């Protein structure tokens, strides 16, 4: 089945990475996870209880960034194909306006404030996000948007999740937070970003510049070290790449560190381990408590599902969870996009604003816009 049809047919939740697909229809059993602290850890316990009660299956869905919302996971049989596959119709909407929140000058002021806090020793890194509110002249088809993202970003985890408070969450995350297969675990933290170029020679040059950039390397090392430190207690052995490598999406270069391990016999399931890794410096900062306090002071909005987790876990404990990035919440004719940039010593406010703009690009294209055309 094509990525297009497999991301369009279910109103519940659909996740796809490469040839792997997990889906649950809207009428599947639901695991409700009330808002509040340690929501992801509570979700792991409740999901396994539901899977045991139902005799197996897969629990899948999305969890908010900070547990600020009630959440649900849906339970379904993994890999089952729907009975019919209708090809998506052409887009019937046109984007009429874009509204940045905050406006670029205010976002850059927030970055300047974060840099002042870093210089004062309050934190080493903080990730500041901003939003883009997109309005159209007709309701947007979330399934079609998700399908376009899946086609444009084949190496990412594409997702379409019906949220309990109404909107549809769509996206294509490039960042694997945690994959568990038996006793093997993997995590691929990404931090450090550069735009790609359609010109092959220039694209290669940009990749080399990213690998050599001191600021980007500093930002990346903080993220990779934190993930390795959080994953280590669960593992009998753990291998961390000595140097970051390049990870390419359709439009961006990222720095990536591959982390691979073998779990101890008594280790918890994939969702419980993912909860222990979240939030990491790639989407929050370091030290975590100081970075979180700066985010609350400087961002000025609830991240909701942005920078949360999206994925699945089964009754055997296997599963895969990605950070909820390159995403939008779609409700009728409105889409709210969120993107962030990692701020460390040496960051430049205008460059960080441009980085968030680049991260909006894949979703804007899926909404039917050409970001280069403004």
Q: Residue 355: what pLDDT? A: 93
Confidence band, pLDDT 50/70/90 cuts, at residue 84: very low
The residue ranking higher by pLDDT, 8 or 186, is: 186
Q: By C-alpha distance, which of 195, 184, 171 is closest to 304? A: 171
pLDDT digits (tens, 9 = 90+) for 28-68: 999 999 999 999 999 999 999 999 999 889 999 999 999 99
Q: Is residue 267 part of a domain?
A: yes
Please indicate, yes or no, if residue 211 is contained in any of the structural domains. Answer: yes
Confidence of residue 373 (pLDDT cuts 50, 70, 90): low
Residues 152, 365: contact at Cβ < 8 Å?
yes
Per-residue pLDDT tens for 90-111?
558 999 999 999 999 999 999 9
Q: Which two tokens stand for residue 309?
A: 């987790």
Query: For residue 287, is pLDDT > 80?
Result: yes
What's the pLDDT at 2? 35
324: left (phi over 0), alpha (psi -120 to 50) or beta: beta
**pTM higher than 0.85:** yes
In a 13 Å sphere around the CA of 17, the CA atoms on its Cβ side amount to 15
With 80 as the cut, is the pLDDT of residue 374 above it?
A: no
Q: What is the CATH number of the domain that holds 224?
A: 3.60.120.10
Provide the domain limits for residue 349.
96-373
Summarised one tens digit per residue, pLDDT across range 355-367 is 999 999 999 999 9
Cα(169)–Cα(166) distance, integer angstroms = 10
pLDDT of 210 above 90: yes
Q: Please count the structural domains in the chain.
A: 1
For residue 138, pLDDT beyond 50: yes
Helix (H, G, I), strand (E, B) or coil at 302: coil
On whether the CB atoms of residues 116 and 319 are closer than 8 A, the answer is no
Q: Is the pLDDT of residue 85 over 50?
A: no
Rounded to an integer, the average pLDDT of 255-283 is 95
| Active site residues per annotation | 125, 175
Output the pLDDT for position 19. 75
12 and 240 in contact (C-beta within 8 Å)? no
Q: What is the CA radius of gyration of the chain?
A: 20
pLDDT at 245 over 50: yes
In a domain, 53, yes or no: no
- Other C-beta atoms closer than 10 Å to the C-beta of 208 total 12
Whether 350 is in a domain gets the answer: yes
Alpha carbons within 13 A on the beta-carbon side of 167: 16
pLDDT band at 371 (very low <50, low <70, confident <90, very high): confident
- What per-residue confidence (pLDDT) applies to 244? 93
The reported pLDDT for the residue numbered 17 is 84
Question: How does pLDDT run across 302-329, given as a tens digit for each residue?
Answer: 999 999 999 999 999 999 999 999 999 9
Instruction: Give per-residue pLDDT as tens, 154-209.
Output: 889 999 999 999 999 999 999 999 999 999 999 999 999 999 999 999 999 999 99
User: 149 lies in a domain?
Assistant: yes
- Domain assignment present for 19: no
- Which 3 state secondary structure label does DSSP give 122? coil
Predicted local confidence at residue 87, as pLDDT: 39
Mean pLDDT, the chain, whole residue set: 91
CB distance 308 to 266 below 8 Å: no
Query: pLDDT class for 3, splitting at 50, 70, 90?
Result: very low
Helix (H, G, I), strand (E, B) or coil at 125: strand
Q: Could you give the CA distance from residue 215 to residue 351 in angstroms, rounded to a whole number?
A: 12
Taking every pair of C-alpha atoms in the chain, what is the biggest distance, in angstroms? 60
For residues 188 and 179, give the distance between their C-alpha atoms in angstroms, rounded to a whole number: 9
Q: Residue 174 in contact with residue 358, Cβ under 8 Å?
A: no
Q: Is the pLDDT of residue 83 over 80?
A: no
For position 11, what pLDDT does the model report?
60
Query: In the numeric block, which tokens belong to residue 150?
Result: 């899946």
Residue 26 above 80 pLDDT? Answer: yes
What is the per-residue pLDDT for 25? 87
Amino acid 255: pLDDT: 95
Structure tokens at 82: 């729907």
């Amino acid at each position: 089945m094509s990525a297009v049809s497999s991301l369009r047919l279910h109103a519940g939740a659909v996740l796809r990475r490469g040839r792997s697909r997990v889906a649950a229809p809207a009428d599947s059993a639901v695991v409700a996870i009330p808002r509040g602290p340690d929501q992801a850890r509570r979700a792991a316990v409740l999901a396994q209880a539901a899977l045991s009660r139902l005799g197996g299956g897969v629990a899948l869905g999305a969890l908010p960034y900070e547990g600020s919302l009630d959440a649900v996971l849906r339970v379904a049989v993994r890999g089952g194909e729907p009975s019919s596959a209708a090809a998506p119709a052409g887009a019937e909407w046109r984007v009429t306006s874009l509204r940045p929140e905050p406006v670029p000058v205010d976002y850059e002021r927030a970055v300047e404030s974060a840099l002042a806090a870093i210089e004062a020793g309050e934190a080493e890194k903080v990730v500041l996000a901003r939003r883009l509110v997109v309005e159209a002249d007709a309701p947007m088809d979330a399934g079609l948007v998700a399908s376009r993202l899946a086609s444009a970003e084949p190496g990412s985890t594409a997702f379409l999740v019906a949220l309990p408070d109404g909107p549809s969450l769509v996206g294509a995350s490039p960042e694997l937070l945690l994959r568990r297969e038996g006793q093997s675990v993997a995590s691929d933290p990404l931090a450090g970003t550069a735009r790609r170029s359609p010109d092959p020679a220039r694209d290669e040059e940009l990749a080399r510049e990213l690998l050599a950039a001191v600021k980007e390397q500093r930002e990346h090392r903080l993220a990779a070290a934190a993930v390795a430190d959080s994953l280590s207690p669960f593992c009998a052995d753990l291998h961390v790449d000595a140097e970051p490598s390049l990870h390419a999406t359709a439009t961006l270069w990222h720095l990536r560190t591959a982390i691979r391990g073998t779990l101890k016999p008594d280790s918890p399931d994939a969702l419980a381990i993912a909860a222990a890794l979240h939030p990491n410096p790639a989407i929050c900062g370091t030290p975590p408590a100081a970075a979180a306090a700066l985010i609350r002071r400087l961002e000025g909005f609830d991240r909701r599902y942005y920078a949360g987790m999206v994925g699945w876990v089964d009754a055997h404990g296997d599963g895969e969870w990605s950070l909820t990035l390159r995403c939008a919440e779609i409700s009728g004719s409105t889409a709210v996009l969120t993107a962030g940039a990692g701020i460390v010593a040496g960051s430049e406010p205008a460059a960080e604003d441009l980085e968030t703009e680049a991260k909006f690009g894949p979703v804007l294209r899926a909404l039917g816009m050409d970001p280069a055309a403004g």
